[in-house]
Amino acid sequence: MVGKKMNKKVVEVKDLVKTYQMGDIQVNALRGLSMSVKEGEVIAIMGPSGSGKSTLMNTLGCLDRPTSGTYILNGENVMAMGDDQLADVRNRQVGFIFQSYNLLSRSTAKANVMLPMRYRRNNGHVDPAEVAKELLIRVGLEDRMNHKPFEMSGGQQQRVAIARALVNNPAIILADEPTGNLDSKSGKEIMDLLLGLNKERGVTLIVVTHDPKIAALTQRTVRILDGRVENE
Ligand code: ADP
Ligand code: MG
């Protein structure tokens, strides 16, 4: 185990505030939220609807910027970054999985998985089609490579989304209610796949869920209430 970074923090946020301005109305989605996640950890995020879970995920994934606070992602100070750098970090460090899969409906499974590689710099030494193929095999879709989303079940579409999330070898996977549209059997299979990938690759996994059975499969649960971590 020499050289293994046992307790390295991959996510460290402090006092995150996110205020949406809608005309005259201010919505305080995050109200001073602090948390950290260690490299390789698997955590669940739970909390009532509207408590700020998706806003937190979008912030952690560098899709959106907080109004104030600090965020260190894998040693990099996100708050100090310009837009180009933020987009680059998002591409390198983060894989997203959504409840509604968010696949391109006119593209095959393989083309969907290859897509994020286009936006990655210094990628000349890998063959995107080959990488996509290997990942689709890993998620159990070797016979669905050239199928389009409408030709696949929900669970299969979510597997494509998982392969796509992994394609740039991210440090963290952010899954916002990944099993929310699936029956409990397919949902469990998706979680088992994500947990297996965490073991194999050491990728940190953050899963928003309403389902206590899904949360029970993770190492710990962070509860969000009114834009803060509960009991903190
Ligand atoms: P959750 O995922 O826990 O249901 P969200 O992060 O989606 O919560 O929302 C937190 C609060 O922020 C809610 O009051 C929601 O209406 C508001 N909100 C979320 N996104 C936006 C947005 N883009 N513009 C304005 N208000 C938003
Ligand atoms: Mg949400």
- What ipTM score was computed for the predicted complex, to two decimals? 0.98
Q: What is the pLDDT of residue 7?
A: 79
In three-state secondary structure terms, 3 is coil
User: Measured in angstroms, how far is the CA atom of residue 54 from the centroid of ligand 2?
Assistant: 4
Decide whether any atom of ligand 1 lies within 6 Å of the 58 Cβ.
no
- The CA distance from 52 to 64, in Å, is 13
Provide the β-strand partners of residue 225: 228
Which stretches in the chain have pLDDT values below 50?
Answer: 1-3
Ligand 1 pocket mutation pick from 54, 63, 225 by most atoms within 8 angstroms of CB: 54
Q: How many domains is the chain built from?
A: 1
Q: What is the pLDDT of residue 117?
A: 86
Q: What is the pLDDT of residue 4?
A: 54
**CATH classification at residue 109:** 3.40.50.300
Q: Give the tokens for residue 150.
A: 């409408």
Q: What is the DSSP letter of 22?
A: E
User: Measured in angstroms, how far is the CA atom of residue 29 from the centroid of ligand 2?
Assistant: 11
Q: Residue 3 domain-assigned?
A: no
Q: Residue 4 domain-assigned?
A: no
Q: Give the tokens for residue 97.
A: 């999985």
Q: Residue 73 domain-assigned?
A: yes
User: Measured in angstroms, how far is the CA atom of residue 175 from the centroid of ligand 2?
Assistant: 11
Q: What is the pLDDT of residue 186?
A: 95
Q: What is the DSSP letter of 192?
A: H
